[in-house]
Structures are given as C-alpha cells and as structure tokens.
C-alpha cells in the first residue's frame, strides 16, 4: 500500500463485524462480557485494550511503516511511557532545542527519579558521540525542532545508536509520517503528539508511539497498561478520522508554509526566517534528504528583537489565532518566549535561539492570500 492509501485503510482490515460499519464504532465501554473466566473476544478491560483504540493503533503503525502502535492520553504520556523503559542511573542524550513540556518532564520528573539527561545541539553528531558512556540507554531527537526548525540527521544518529547499542527515539510531531519516516531511517521508536497534525483539527489531546521490535513493543504495552496513560475511545475515533486526511492536509500545509516563508524572507521588518525548505537554512540539505516536503511550521524574528513588538504582532493577527499548539487546519501564531517555552530559563532558551522577538507560526490550510494579507497588516 502507498502512503496515501495507508492513511485511509492501513491496519483497518477488520471492518466492524457486528454491522459492517465503515468507520470503527466508538466502543464507549470499560469492560467486556466473558462466557466463562478468560473466555472472551480479545478484549477484557479498556485500559488494556479497546477496539476503537486498537483500530487507531493499527493505523498509527501502518503510516509509520512500523509493526506496533500505541495510543496514549497525550504526547507527554507517550514520552513518559518511553522514559519508563529506563532505570535509575541510566542516561539519555537529548536535543537541547526541544518542546518545553518534554524538557520539563525530563528535568522536573525523571531527573528526580535518578535518570540523567544531557542536552546537546544535535546538528553535530560528534556532540552526541562525546556524551555517550556505558550508562547511555537512549538518544532523544526531535526534528524539525521546536521552535527553531533545526533539522537533525536521523540516519546519522541511527548509526551512532546502533554502534553503541542504545535506542534512538524520534519525536516526529512536526513532520508527521507524511513528510518523514524515522523507523525507515533506522530509529527504534517514533513518537507523536497526535494532538497536532495527526488529529489535525485542534479538538483532541493524544500521544502515540510506534516501534518495529517485538520485545520493545511488549515492554511498552506493559507500561501502557501498568501506568494507564491510555487514549480513550472517543479521542481514538477522532484521531483515526484525522489520519484519513493527513496526506491532503500536509500537502497544503507545506504549500502554504512555503508561501509564508517566502513572504517573510522578503519583508523589510523581518530579521530571520526559520523554515527547512529555504535554501539558506543551515540544514536544508539534510532536510531535503530525509523529508518529502518541509511542512507548515515557520518561525521568524524581527529587526531590533523587541519583546513588545512581538506581543503587538500576536495581538494584531486576525486570520492567525494567537494560541498554543500547532498542526490544526487553522493557522496559529505563538510567542515561544512567553508561551510554550516560558518554563525554560531565559539564558537557556536564548542559547538555542528562542529570543524575545521570535514568533512561531503554525501555517494552516486556509487560502494562501488571506494568510499573507494578515501577516502583512500585523507586521505593519
């Protein structure tokens, strides 16, 4: 099956056996009747498994070219489950330019439980290799990164991970399986905040994990059931529906992203534009190698780097909505320094480029002309 067919049919061969419903019903049930103890139809209790969630988990595995899919209550619940593969004393090498909530989970929860995190810039693989020691168990990469749109070479990281027998996990939220497939590039684990592009309509919070290795899958299923951060049936239904148009949406997000990046690059008030499709992007060649297109996430700074101007811009936009999150059909604008990245100390965030004037856009799938007009008037 090709990708655009997988989004619709992947892993969905068992159409509703009761009535032939084309969409998997929302099995809003916690438990399942048994004819005698242990004699059931594959489902016992909805924390362990639920048919709507299973349908989604199979779809997730299919679009990522993986074997095993897992759906969690949020992206952070998915990351939480992955880090629970580790033990006190284990070490993780993580990109230093990552989602603020992931940073908070690593430093405020898991460091307290004895897991050590090293944050490095991963555009240089030598920086990653320098931190590897006998306790290293996991490399955590996010690409494109949030909000600086840095690109990390997944294939190069996978080689380092294999040589050193450590796991490589990739947060694929920004690219989605439409643009990039980390498992095919050698990653062991691919994780998503399905809240974003997979759901695609800003109406659900969810996380996902996909792997190919059976032993790893079993450990993760165990954690999913034992810790219980599962996705509910209604939310599973919504994300399953979202995935069916993922390819169409990502194509349009990428087209609009290109138009917005071009417009901003030519605007006299704009200092820098961060979009991996621009030829002057420092990692453009790697992006071209591992991504099919470059998506709808665009960040930029303005000349003078004024905090107040950035705030004013976010108040002036009309088609873009000032809001956290990303990946929905509607365009959003955010100010990382005061919103998503407020939990990262100023000194730490500025090292990675999250300066006061930085604006992050999640370019939606509206008409390109309206988006450009809106940016024009807000910048004015």
Instruction: Please answer whether residues 163 and 289 qualify as being in contact, where contact means their C-beta atoms are separated by less than 8 angstroms.
Output: no
Candidates 80, 97, 153, 171; catalytic one = 171
CB of 163 to ligand PLP, least distance (A): 27
CB of 146 to ligand PLP, least distance (A): 5
Angle at 261 between CA 378 and CA 375, to 5 degrees: 10
Instruction: Please answer whether residues 207 and 192 qualify as being in contact, where contact means their C-beta atoms are separated by less than 8 angstroms.
Output: yes
CB of 156 to ligand PLP, least distance (A): 20
Q: Which residue has the tokens 């071209």?
A: 288
Instruction: Please answer whether residues 327 and 196 qualify as being in contact, where contact means their C-beta atoms are separated by less than 8 angstroms.
Output: yes
Candidates 6, 84, 137, 196; catalytic one = 196
The residue number with the shortest CB distance to ligand PLP is 75
CB of 33 to ligand PLP, least distance (A): 33
Beta bridge partners of 93: 118, 139
Q: Is 259 exposed, middle or buried (0-12, 13-18, 19+ CB in 10 A)?
A: middle
Candidates 47, 159, 262, 272; catalytic one = 47
Q: Alpha carbon of 309 to those of 166, 208, 299, 371, 372: distances in Å?
A: 45, 37, 15, 19, 19
Which positions lie near ligand PLP, rule CB under 6 A?
A: 74-76, 99, 101-102, 142, 146, 171, 173-174, 193, 195-196, 205, 207
* 171 catalytic per annotation: yes
Taking the least distance from each CB to ligand PLP, the nearer of 158 and 206 is 206
* 252 catalytic per annotation: no
Helix (H) or strand (E) holding 9: helix 3-9
* 80 catalytic per annotation: no
Structure tokens at 54: 């299973």
* 47 catalytic per annotation: yes
Taking the least distance from each CB to ligand PLP, the nearer of 195 and 357 is 195
Candidates 27, 99, 103, 197; catalytic one = 99
Catalytically active residues are 47, 99, 171, 196
């Amino acid at each position: 099956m090709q990708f655009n067919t997988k989004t619709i049919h992947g892993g969905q061969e068992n159409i509703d056996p009761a009535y032939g419903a084309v969409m998997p019903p929302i099995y809003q049930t916690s438990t399942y009747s048994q004819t005698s103890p242990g004699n059931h139809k594959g489902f016992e209790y909805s924390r362990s498994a639920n048919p709507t969630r299973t349908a989604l988990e199979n779809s997730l595995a299919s679009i990522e070219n993986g074997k095993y899919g897992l759906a969690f209550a949020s992206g952070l619940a998915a990351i939480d489950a992955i880090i629970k593969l580790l033990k006190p004393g284990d070490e993780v090498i993580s990109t230093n330019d990552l989602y603020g909530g992931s940073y908070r989970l690593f430093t405020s929860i898991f460091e307290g439980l004895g897991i050590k995190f090293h944050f490095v810039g991963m555009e240089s693989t030598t920086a990653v290799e320098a931190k590897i020691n006998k306790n290293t168990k996991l490399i955590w990469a996010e690409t494109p990164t949030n909000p600086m749109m840095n690109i990390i070479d997944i294939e190069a990281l996978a080689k380092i991970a294999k040589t050193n027998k450590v796991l490589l996990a990739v947060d694929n939220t920004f690219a989605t399986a439409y643009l990039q497939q980390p498992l095919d590039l050698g990653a062991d684990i691919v994780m998503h905040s399905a809240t974003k592009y997979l759901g695609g309509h800003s109406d659900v919070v969810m996380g996902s994990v996909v792997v190919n290795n059976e032993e790893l899958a079993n450990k993760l299923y165990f954690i999913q059931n034992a810790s219980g951060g599962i996705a509910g049936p209604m939310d599973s239904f919504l994300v399953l529906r979202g995935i069916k148009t993922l390819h169409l949406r990502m194509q349009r997000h990428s087209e609009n992203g290109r138009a917005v990046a071009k417009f901003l690059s030519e605007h006299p008030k704009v200092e820098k534009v961060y979009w991996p499709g621009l030829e002057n992007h420092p990692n453009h060649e790697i992006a071209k190698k591992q991504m099919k297109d470059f998506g709808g996430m665009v960040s930029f700074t303005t000349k003078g780097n004024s905090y107040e101007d950035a705030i004013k811009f976010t108040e002036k936009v009309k088609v873009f909505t000032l809001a956290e999150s990303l990946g929905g059909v509607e365009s959003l604008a955010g100010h990382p320094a005061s919103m998503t990245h407020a939990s990262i100390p100023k000194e730490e965030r500025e090292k990675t480029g999250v300066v006061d004037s930085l604006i992050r856009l999640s370019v939606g799938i509206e008409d390109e002309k309206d988006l450009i007009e809106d940016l024009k008037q807000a910048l004015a």
